[in-house]
């Protein structure tokens, strides 16, 4: 057997013939995406958080209440699936940049919040729910105390006040389940 015939025999023996696809299978392959795959009514509600915001901040540093200001630019990414909230501020004289992703997992019926910043290397991942009236988002996750290195629970609450105002509060939960508000951010939509 010459080399050409041998090569052809090897190639033809390895070719897999795909089964014929019937019309029903073609229809299934061309149907629209499953509802769990596309943004839905909760995403439409989250759309009220898109835009440019002035943010008044109150936070606890030790036992002392501090105040600050930030700006927030919130835009949709990944075809309207996640809201990217980009916060810029100053903390102890240094630029402070926080990036937060907020979304809703249709399949799991959970809100999702992921936060990271330029002063640390960790990521905060919270999950939760939105109230039946769609005015309050409550997420819970775990963070590390930078002074002790021990984990603690953190609950965040986003409250829709008006189309041009919302709040974001952080509550630290101790081992006994007692909550203490450690951050309060009031967002006011910037005027065009």
pLDDT confidence of residue 60? 85
Two tokens, residue 125: 């991942």
Per domain, the residue ranges of the chain are 38-189
Give the 3-state DSSP-derived string for 118-166, with helices as H, strands as E and coil as C: CCCCCCEEEEEEECCCCCEEEEEEEEECCCCCCEEEEEEEEEEEECCEE
pLDDT confidence of residue 151? 85
Is 70 exceeded by the pLDDT of residue 8?
A: no
Residue, of 31 and 125, whose pLDDT is higher: 125
pLDDT confidence of residue 28? 46
pLDDT confidence of residue 32? 53
| Spatial CB neighbours of 81, under 8 Å, sequence gap ≥ 6 | 39, 43, 103
DSSP state at residue 38 = S
| pTM across the whole model | 0.77
Average pLDDT over every residue of 122-148: 90
Are the beta carbons of 152 and 145 closer than 8 angstroms? yes
pLDDT confidence of residue 153? 92
Is 50 exceeded by the pLDDT of residue 115?
A: yes
Architecture of domain 38-189: Beta Barrel (2.40)
Of residues 68, 71, 107, 100, the one with CA closest to residue 88: 71
Average pLDDT over every residue of 82-95: 92
Of residues 134, 167, 114, 115, the one with CA closest to residue 43: 134
Is 50 exceeded by the pLDDT of residue 10?
A: no
Q: Which letter, b or e, does each residue of 141-150 get, where b requires 16 or more Cβ atoms within 10 Å of its Cβ?
A: bebeeeeeee
Q: How far apart are CA 102 and CA 113, in angstroms?
A: 5
pLDDT confidence of residue 11? 31
Average pLDDT over every residue of 70-74: 95
Half-sphere exposure of 89 (CA within 13 A, CB side): 21
DSSP state at residue 49 = G
Of residues 182, 186, 181, the one with CA closest to residue 166: 186
For residue 149, name the pLDDT band (cuts at 50, 70, 90): confident
For residue 33, name the pLDDT band (cuts at 50, 70, 90): low
How much of the chain exceeds pLDDT 90, in percent? 54
Are the beta carbons of 138 and 123 closer than 8 angstroms? no
């Amino acid at each position: 057997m010459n080399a050409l015939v041998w090569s052809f025999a090897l190639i033809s023996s390895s070719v897999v013939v795909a089964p014929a696809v019937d019309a029903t299978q073609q229809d299934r392959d061309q149907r629209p995406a499953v509802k769990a795959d596309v943004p839905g009514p909760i995403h439409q509600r989250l759309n009220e958080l898109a835009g440019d915001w002035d943010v008044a901040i109150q936070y606890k540093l030790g036992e002392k209440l501090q105040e600050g200001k930030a700006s927030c630019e919130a835009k949709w990414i990944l075809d309207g699936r996640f809201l990217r909230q980009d916060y810029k501020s100053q903390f102890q004289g240094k630029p402070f940049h926080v990036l937060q992703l907020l979304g809703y997992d249709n399949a799991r019926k959970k809100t999702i919040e992921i936060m990271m910043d330029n002063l640390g290397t960790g990521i905060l991942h919270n999950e939760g729910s939105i109230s039946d009236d769609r005015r309050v988002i409550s997420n819970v996750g775990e963070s590390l105390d930078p002074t002790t290195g021990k984990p603690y629970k953190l609950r965040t609450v986003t409250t829709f006040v008006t189309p041009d105002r919302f709040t974001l509060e952080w509550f630290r939960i101790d081992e006994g389940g007692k909550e203490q508000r450690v951050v309060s951010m009031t967002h006011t939509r910037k005027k065009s």
